[in-house]
Every structure is written in structure tokens, then in C-alpha cells.
């Protein structure tokens, strides 16, 4: 038996796909360790996949696209119950990375009845509930004795939290908060699993004490009777209906009618209200936004995974799909041979790697900030908020674009739900909206950048934090890309720094200039906001490049280092071309330098070609996790597409009731009228 570098090779696979794997130059298990940030975790992922493969009760009973929403929810609940019961036989207790993988394999990406419970409810209680409150609720939540969600967004307001309409008014006499929804637009709207599954929620409401508005605060609120699951008196609750995707998640609505909860249901780790109504303010005004920051920090990796699902499907399929010739004397080629196909897919493969490396750094910073905040040190909260706001927006935007490119790269079959592309796209693109609409979050980062620009302009660059220190540096007069002997990636990084710095200072100048001309601050802000968001994007893309460079520098295995270096070359050249307007407009990069960048791009497309399948295989998604006929590991696409179509519910009978009822009579009457 030959041992190949690509560990996905099996006997009996489509030979076209095997041929791709044989050309791989690196060990895919080792690359998985880079992707999942540790050898141990990559190995555990494989072990978990194997355990699941041997337990048919954890497999889908039929393809998701053939199920109704109700069937999907039932099926998901069945499997959720099983994995909850048998969790300790499959994953290490309380290992959230393993849990994430288990969920993706068994439950899939469309959500499940306890999705928000793990992603936001438990994190909100962990970060915001006092020790005493945690004893009361957190243990029960972890044991799944209660199921919760995070209810913040309303029908009328999602972005502007200061204008939420749900109120929590303190009644000193009874020591209770009275939750109330004054209007239809004040109904909570969107919270995942609120509609039908949760019996508790962390609810965000404007807190009023003795007539004073203290702004948004978080409250632990029982919603349904723990025994009967019936809504409690004073609560109006339900599902908001089908969405573009994520339809296994019951996003819901919620209204309160003068609904009373004890004072002690205000989450009081950082904020307190004494029995007499005295308010004790938190060490940082936005400390109770932590559940959002939790998801924003983790969703970078989540988005990279979605992008890689789509790229795995498209790259494998492009290796078995033959269409047309390049040399007319030769047989039809795999569509992956076309430069256009490579240009469509490979830069996104590079981006997916870049995103997962940036995601790992973000989670590390998040965990550090979480620990520090627990001890009262809030000094890094602003940096983390700025970083995650930018990354969440940039990564989800390019992820959606990349998935759509991958779908189109699969031609007609990409449009079939057999590819699973539409669901992957629908789920991923939600990330552009949830946890803060992308434009809004870019503007949050812009506030941080403008403050930093102001330090530069006032000669205080030494006060800049590490993430923005480059703003205080001086650029060379022109980029030295292609003008110096090879200096690794330093010239590219310098060029991206120049571009981000120039745009940030220019946008800040515009904003400050408008104010100097007499515009009020918010008007000046609005009139500068497109330019400000451009700065936020460029700053974030610079960060992503730097994270990629940092990771490649750390890699010791020479085979991995070589292919990751190729990917990084592809990434920096693609990114620079994509933002070339900024580079050209002040002459920092010339058009002849861009020609060099373009040549480099084409060179690296060709260099990566033999490793393309291995690069996507390295994510080690099982067929169960991918749920795509086109993306199958074995490459046997056509026979399985035919089997999939035959299994379509419409093919259960040869003649549909609709034909009997309508089409047959229509044709019969048409024929009769001709007689």
C-alpha cells in the first residue's frame, strides 16, 4: 500500500480525483493541524467523525432538501437528544471546539433547537451573571435543564440599541422589574430558538428606575412553564416564519404585557440595582455587550469554515467535471484546468486560510480579554471591539462572495440543492447581518481609527495601540514591490500599510474638515461615512494579511511552509490587484508594478494547481458534514446525482395528484374542444 501525502485517498474513488490527490506535495493531516490550530484538535475531529460514521442513529434519515421545515426540526431534535445523552462518549466534556464539530457533523449548519443556548445564552450568563446567579441558572443551563436564547433585536430596532422599546421599570415597592412591550415595533424579533424551543431568555431592555432611563441592560427572563412549555401569563411568543436559510432554527417574536420578574433577575456581575433602586454602574459602559463580542470573535472561524465547505465542493467537482478542450487535439479537460476557474476558486482558497488564521488570533485575544474583564481590567475591550467589528464585516462579506463564486463554478449543478450551495450561502450570508449589520460594524471600527488618526495628527503616535501603530509610521515615497531583491512579504505588508494609512488619514481629514467648516459632528460623520468604511475595510484586510504572514513564519514543516507560502503569495497579489485603485491614485504603485503583480498572480495560480484538491481536503470535512452530492470525497458525482433525483419526493409516484386534478382535465378539455 502506497502512503500518500493526501490522506483522503481511498481505493475505488473517481480516478480523476485520485490523480489530483496524488500530486499533493504535503501531508493533509499536518495541514489540518494548522487549520484547526493544533495537532490534538485536528486528530480529535477525525476521531469524532469516525465515531459518528459508526452510529447510524446519528446520520440524516434523508437529505435535508427533501424535508419540510417541520420534519427538519423534528429530525434535528431527535439527533440533538441523542448527542446530548451520549455526548461524553463522543467528545471531551465541556470542550466547545469538539462540540462545534459534533454539531456540524450530526446536526448540520441549518441550526437546531439549542443553537442560541450554546452560542449566546450560556456565554451571556457566564460573563454577566453574578456568582450567585450562576449557581442558580448557569449549572441548570449547562445541564440542559433549561433552554435559553438571547433576545435583543426588536421589530423596529436591531442596530440602535439605545432606542429599543422594551422597558424594564423597577418597582421599589415589590422589588421587581416590570417588563413591557409598548408597541408592535417593540416586539422582540429574530432571536434564534425563541419561537418554539426556549423556556428562558437573556432579554435586553431599557432599564428605568424612578423615571430615569439607564439604557440597555440584560435580564434573565422565564418565558415558558418548565413542565408544560406553555407561554407564561403576560408573554406573547412565536416563530417569525421561514427565512432564506437557517430554517431549523426557530427565530422568534416576543412581547411582554407588564410582566414581572424579581430585581435579582437583572444580570448583576458588573451592574447592580439595590433594593431601594440605587444603581451601581459597571466598570465599562458596554460590558454587557459581551455575548455579541463572543459571537463576533468566534464567527470569523465559522465563516472560514462555510467558505471552505463551498470551496471543497467546487474544487473537487471541478476535478471530475470534464467540459471542452484547451488543446483541440486532446480529450475534454477537467474544468479546473481553465485559468478562469482557477482564478475564481484559488484566491478564495487563500482567503479561507487567511480567515481561519485571523480567526484563531481573534479567539485568543477574546479569551484574554474575557479573563481580564473578569478581574475588572477593561483596558482591552475597545481594541477587541474594533478588531472584531472589522473582521466580522470583512470576512462575512468575502465569504458570501466566495461561496457564490464557488456555486457558479459548479455550473448548472451548483444551482441544484444537491450541491447544498444555496443553504451554505444562505447560512453564511446571515453573518453579514447578525451580530451587527456590516456597515454599522465597520463604522464602529472607524470610530477607533479616527481616534487613532487624531493621535497621529496631534503628534501623539507613541500612544497608538499595536493594532494601529502603523498609522504613525512614514511611508516610503513609492512601493518597492518588484524594485528590490526579494524581501519576503515585507514590501507587500508595507504597501498595504501605506494604502490603509492613507485612506484612514484622508477619511479622518474629511471628517475633521467638515467639522471645521461648521458641520455638527454626526452630520460630518455621516457625510464622511463611505470614506470611513473604506478605511475600516483596508485596515481589516491589512490585519488579515499580517495574520497570514505571522502564521506562515511560524510553520516549521518545509512542505507545509512551501504551499502556505504559495498561498500567501497568491493572497497578497490578489488583494493588491483588488485594491489597486488606492495604490495607483497617489502613484505609490505604478501600472508597471501592477503588471508584475498580475504576472505573479498567474504564476501562483499555476503553482497551486497540483495542490488545489489537497488544500481543500485538508479541512477534513466528512461527506456527512458537507451534505453535498457534488462535493463527495469519492468524486462519484453523476451516479449519485441520479440517485438523489430519483429519491426526490416528487418521484414517489409517476403521476402527481396535481396532474390528475388539473393538468389531465385541462388537456382532456382542450382535446374535446378540438373535436
Ligand X SMILES: CCCCCCCCCC/C=C\CCCCC/C=C/C(=O)SCCNC(=O)CCNC(=O)[C@H](O)C(C)(C)COP(=O)(O)OP(=O)(O)OC[C@H]1O[C@@H](n2cnc3c(N)ncnc32)[C@H](O)[C@@H]1OP(=O)(O)O
Ligand Y SMILES: Cc1cc2nc3c(=O)[nH]c(=O)nc-3n(C[C@H](O)[C@H](O)[C@H](O)COP(=O)(O)OP(=O)(O)OC[C@H]3O[C@@H](n4cnc5c(N)ncnc54)[C@H](O)[C@@H]3O)c2cc1C
Residues engaged in binding ligand Y (CB under 6 A): 116, 150-153, 157-159, 190-192, 246, 251, 430, 433-434, 436-437, 439-440, 443
Q: How far is the C-alpha of 382 from the C-alpha of 580, rounded, in Å?
A: 31
Task: Please report, as residue ranges, which positions from 449 to 508 form the binding site for ligand X (by CB under 6 A).
Answer: none
Per-residue DSSP letter, 646: H
Site membership for ligand X, residue 526 (CB under 6 A): no
Name the residue nearer to ligand X (CB basis): 614 or 618: 618
Name the residue nearer to ligand X (CB basis): 435 or 625: 435
How far apart, in Å, are the Cα atoms of 388 and each of 509, 522, 525? 25, 23, 21
- Per-residue burial over 644-661, b = 16 or more CB atoms within 10 Å of its CB, e = otherwise: beeeeeeeeeeeeeeeee
Stretch that binds ligand X, among 87-95, 124-132, 152-160, 365-373 (CB under 6 A): 152-160
Site membership for ligand X, residue 295 (CB under 6 A): yes
Q: Which does 439 bind (CB under 5 to 8 A by kind): ligand X, ligand Y, none?
A: ligand Y
Q: Cell for 59?
A: 446520520
What phi and psi values does residue 269 have, to the nearest 5 degrees?
A: -65, -40
Q: Cell for 13?
A: 474513488
| Helix H or strand E segment including 216 | strand 212-222
Stretch that binds ligand X, among 237-245, 435-443, 486-494, 633-641 (CB under 6 A): 435-443
Q: Cell for 396?
A: 462575512
Which one of residues 435, 491, 617, 625 is an interface residue with ligand X (CB under 6 A)? Answer: 435
Q: Cell for 520?
A: 455638527
Closest CA to 544 of 513, 502, 594, 578: 578
Q: Does the annotation flag 153 for ligand binding?
A: yes
Q: How far is the C-alpha of 169 from the C-alpha of 2, rounded, in Å?
A: 71
Q: Is the CB of residue 497 less than 8 Å from the CB of residue 575?
A: no
Name the residue nearer to ligand X (CB basis): 160 or 462: 160
CA 511 to chain centre: 31
User: Minimal distance in Å, beta carbon 188 to ligand X?
Assistant: 10
Q: How far is the C-alpha of 335 from the C-alpha of 419, rounded, in Å?
A: 17
Q: Which does 142 bind (CB under 5 to 8 A by kind): ligand X, ligand Y, none?
A: none
User: Minimal distance in Å, beta carbon 162 to ligand X?
Assistant: 5
- 562: three-class secondary structure by DSSP: helix
Q: Is the CB of residue 310 less than 8 Å from the CB of residue 407?
A: yes
What phi and psi values does residue 487 have, to the nearest 5 degrees?
A: -120, 40
What phi and psi values does residue 261 have, to the nearest 5 degrees?
A: -130, 155
Can you list the alpha helix ranges (DSSP code H) found in 54-178? 69-90, 96-106, 115-116, 122-128, 131-133, 139-142
User: Minimal distance in Å, beta carbon 421 to ligand Y?
Assistant: 18
Q: Which residue is nearest to ligand X (CB)?
A: 302
CB atoms within 10 A of CB 530: 11
Name the residue nearer to ligand X (CB basis): 79 or 385: 385
Q: Cell for 672?
A: 374535446
Stretch that binds ligand X, among 176-184, 288-296, 454-462, 627-635 (CB under 6 A): 288-296
User: Minimal distance in Å, beta carbon 241 to ligand X?
Assistant: 17
Q: Does the annotation flag 192 for ligand binding?
A: yes
Q: Which does 162 bind (CB under 5 to 8 A by kind): ligand X, ligand Y, none?
A: ligand X
- 228: three-class secondary structure by DSSP: coil
Site membership for ligand X, residue 289 (CB under 6 A): yes
Q: Cell for 146?
A: 433549561
Burial status of residue 607 (CB atoms within 10 A of its CB: 0-12, 13-18, 19 or more):
middle
Stretch that binds ligand X, among 93-101, 222-230, 335-343, 660-668 (CB under 6 A): 93-101
User: Minimal distance in Å, beta carbon 201 to ligand X?
Assistant: 11
User: Minimal distance in Å, beta carbon 149 to ligand Y?
Assistant: 6
User: Minimal distance in Å, beta carbon 628 to ligand Y?
Assistant: 21
Site membership for ligand X, residue 434 (CB under 6 A): yes
Site membership for ligand X, residue 381 (CB under 6 A): yes
Name the residue nearer to ligand Y (CB basis): 20 or 435: 435
Q: Which does 151 bind (CB under 5 to 8 A by kind): ligand X, ligand Y, none?
A: ligand Y
User: Minimal distance in Å, beta carbon 251 to ligand Y?
Assistant: 6
User: Minimal distance in Å, beta carbon 599 to ligand X?
Assistant: 38
Q: Which residue is nearest to ligand Y (CB)?
A: 158
Site membership for ligand X, residue 299 (CB under 6 A): yes
Determine whether 625 is an active site residue.
no
Q: Cell for 231?
A: 407561554
* One-letter-per-residue 3-state SS of 268-301: CCCCEECCCCCEECCCCCCHHHHHHHHHHHHHHH
Q: Cell for 109?
A: 449548519
Name the residue nearer to ligand Y (CB basis): 289 or 548: 289
Site membership for ligand X, residue 192 (CB under 6 A): yes
User: Minimal distance in Å, beta carbon 301 to ligand Y?
Assistant: 18
Q: Cell for 190?
A: 429574530
Q: Which does 302 bind (CB under 5 to 8 A by kind): ligand X, ligand Y, none?
A: ligand X
Site membership for ligand X, residue 292 (CB under 6 A): yes
Site membership for ligand X, residue 621 (CB under 6 A): no
Task: Please report, as residue ranges, which positions from 94 to 123 form the binding site for ligand X (by CB under 6 A).
Answer: 96-97, 100, 119
> Whose grid coordinates read 412549555?
229
Name the residue nearer to ligand Y (CB basis): 153 or 167: 153
DSSP 333-385: PBGGGSHHHHHHHHHHHHHHHHHHHHHHHHHHHHHHHHHHHHTT--TTHHHHH
Stretch that binds ligand X, among 225-233, 263-271, 377-385, 463-471 (CB under 6 A): 377-385
Q: Is the CB of residue 661 less than 8 Å from the CB of residue 451?
A: no
Q: Which does 196 bind (CB under 5 to 8 A by kind): ligand Y, ligand X, none?
A: none
Site membership for ligand X, residue 339 (CB under 6 A): no
Site string for ligand X, 440-459 (x = CB under 6 A): x---x--x------------
Site membership for ligand X, residue 36 (CB under 6 A): no
Which candidate in 105, 435, 491, 625 is catalytic? 435
Name the residue nearer to ligand X (CB basis): 137 or 150: 150
How far apart, in Å, are the Cα atoms of 454 and each of 295, 449, 468, 528? 30, 9, 12, 15
Site membership for ligand X, residue 152 (CB under 6 A): yes
For CA atoms 187, 189, 192, 195, give the dihedral sign. Answer: positive
Q: Are strands 200-209 and 167-171 parallel, antiparallel or unpaired?
A: parallel
Q: Which does 298 bind (CB under 5 to 8 A by kind): ligand Y, ligand X, none?
A: ligand X
Per-residue DSSP letter, 253: E
Listing from the earlier edge strand, what are the strands of the sheet with 252-256?
188-189, 252-256, 235-239
User: Minimal distance in Å, beta carbon 201 to ligand Y?
Assistant: 9
Q: Cell for 634?
A: 469519492
Which one of residues 136, 286, 510, 607 is an interface residue with ligand X (CB under 6 A)? Answer: 286
CA 18 to chain centre: 31
Q: Which does 286 bind (CB under 5 to 8 A by kind): ligand X, ligand Y, none?
A: ligand X
Please state the residue numbers annotated as binding site. 153, 192
List the catalytic residues: 435
> Binding residues for ligand X, per CB under 6 A?
96-97, 100, 119, 150, 152-153, 158-162, 192, 286, 289, 292-293, 295, 298-299, 302, 381-382, 385, 434-436, 440, 444, 447
Please state the residue numbers annotated as binding site for FAD. 153, 192
Amino acid at each position: 500500500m502506497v502512503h500518500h501525502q493526501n490522506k483522503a485517498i481511498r481505493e475505488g474513488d473517481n480516478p480523476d480525483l485520485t490523480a489530483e490527490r496524488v500530486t499533493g506535495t504535503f501531508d493533509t493531516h499536518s495541514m489540518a493541524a494548522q487549520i484547526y490550530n493544533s495537532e490534538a484538535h485536528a486528530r480529535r475531529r477525525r476521531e469524532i467523525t469516525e465515531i459518528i460514521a459508526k452510529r447510524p442513529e446519528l446520520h440524516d434519515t434523508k437529505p435535508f432538501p427533501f424535508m419540510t421545515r417541520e420534519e427538519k426540526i423534528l429530525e434535528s431534535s431527535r439527533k440533538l437528544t441523542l448527542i446530548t445523552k451520549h455526548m461524553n462518549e463522543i467528545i471531551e466534556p465541556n470542550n466547545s471546539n469538539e462540540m462545534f464539530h459534533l454539531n456540524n457533523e450530526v446536526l448540520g449548519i441549518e441550526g437546531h433547537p439549542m443553537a442560541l443556548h450554546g452560542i449566546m445564552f450560556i456565554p451571556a450568563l457566564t460573563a454577566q451573571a453574578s456568582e450567585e446567579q450562576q449557581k442558580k441558572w448557569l449549572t441548570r443551563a449547562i445541564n440542559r435543564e433549561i433552554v435559553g436564547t438571547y433576545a435583543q433585536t426588536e421589530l423596529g430596532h436591531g442596530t440602535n440599541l439605545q432606542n429599543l422599546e422594551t422597558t424594564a421599570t423597577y418597582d421599589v415597592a415589590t422589588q421587581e422589574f416590570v417588563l413591557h412591550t409598548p408597541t408592535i415595533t417593540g416586539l422582540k424579533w429574530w432571536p434564534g430558538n425563541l419561537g418554539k424551543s426556549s423556556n428562558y431568555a437573556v432579554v435586553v431592555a431599557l432599564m428605568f428606575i424612578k423615571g430615569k432611563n439607564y439604557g440597555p441592560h440584560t435580564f434573565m427572563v422565564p418565558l415558558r412553564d418548565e413542565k408544560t412549555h406553555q407561554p407564561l401569563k403576560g408573554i406573547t411568543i412565536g416563530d417569525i416564519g421561514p427565512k432564506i436559510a437557517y430554517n431549523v432554527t426557530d427565530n422568534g417574536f416576543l412581547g411582554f404585557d407588564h410582566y414581572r420578574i424579581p430585581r435579582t433577575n437583572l444580570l448583576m456581575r458588573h451592574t447592580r440595582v439595590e433594593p431601594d433602586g440605587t444603581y451601581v454602574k459597571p466598570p465599562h459602559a458596554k460590558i454587557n455587550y459581551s455575548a455579541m463580542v463572543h459571537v463576533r470573535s468566534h464567527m470569523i472561524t465559522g465563516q472560514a469554515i462555510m467558505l471552505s465547505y463551498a470551496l471543497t465542493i467546487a474544487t473537487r467537482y471541478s476535478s471530475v467535471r470534464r467540459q471542452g478542450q484547451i488543446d483541440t487535439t486532446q480529450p475534454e479537460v477537467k474544468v479546473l484546468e481553465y485559468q478562469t476557474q482557477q482564478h475564481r476558486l484559488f484566491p478564495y482558497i487563500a482567503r479561507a486560510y487567511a480567515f481561519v488564521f485571523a480567526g484563531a488570533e481573534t479567539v485568543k485575544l477574546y479569551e484574554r480579554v474575557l479573563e481580564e474583564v473578569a478581574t475588572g481590567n477593561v483596558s482591552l475591550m475597545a481594541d477587541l471591539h474594533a478588531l472584531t467589528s472589522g473582521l466580522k464585516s470583512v470576512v462575512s462579506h468575502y465569504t458570501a462572495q466566495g461561496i457564490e463564486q464557488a456555486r457558479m463554478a459548479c455550473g448548472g449543478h451548483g444551482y441544484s440543492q444537491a450541491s447544498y450551495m444555496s443553504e451554505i450561502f444562505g447560512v453564511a450570508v446571515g453573518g453579514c447581518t447578525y451580530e451587527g449589520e456590516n456597515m454599522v460594524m465597520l463604522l464602529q471600527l472607524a470610530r477607533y481609527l479616527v481616534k487613532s488618526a487624531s493621535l497621529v495628527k496631534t503628534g501623539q503616535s507613541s500612544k497608538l495601540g499595536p493594532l494601529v501603530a502603523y498609522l504613525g509610521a512614514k511611508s516610503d515615497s513609492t512601493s518597492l514591490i518588484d524594485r528590490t531583491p526579494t524581501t519576503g512579504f515585507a514590501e507587500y505588508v508595507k504597501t498595504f500599510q501605506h494604502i490603509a494609512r492613507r485612506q484612514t488619514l484622508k477619511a479622518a481629514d474629511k471628517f475633521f474638515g467638515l467639522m471645521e467648516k461648521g458641520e455638527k459632528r454626526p452630520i460630518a460623520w455621516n457625510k464622511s461615512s463611505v470614506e470611513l468604511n473604506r478605511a475600516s475595510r483596508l485596515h481589516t484586510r491589512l490585519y488579515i494579511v499580517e495574520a497570514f504572514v505571522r502564521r506562515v513564519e511560524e510553520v516549521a514543516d518545509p512542505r507545509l511552509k512551501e504551499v502556505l507560502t504559495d498561498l500567501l503569495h497568491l493572497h497578497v497579489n490578489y488583494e493588491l490587484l483588488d485594491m489597486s485603485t488606492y495604490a495607483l491614485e497617489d502613484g505609490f504603485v505604478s501600472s508597471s508594478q501592477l503588471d508584475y503583480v498580475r504576472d505573479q498572480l498567474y504564476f501562483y495560480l499555476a503553482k497551486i494547481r497540483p495542490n488545489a484538491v489537497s488544500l481543500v481536503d485538508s479541512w477534513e470535512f466528512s461527506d456527512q458534514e458537507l451534505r453535498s452530492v457534488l462535493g463527495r470525497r469519492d468524486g462519484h458525482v453523476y451516479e449519485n446525482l441520479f440517485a438523489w433525483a430519483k429519491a426526490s419526493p416528487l418521484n414517489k409516484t409517476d403521476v402527481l395528484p396535481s396532474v390528475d386534478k388539473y393538468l389531465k382535465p385541462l388537456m382532456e378539455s382542450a382535446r374535446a374542444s378540438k373535436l
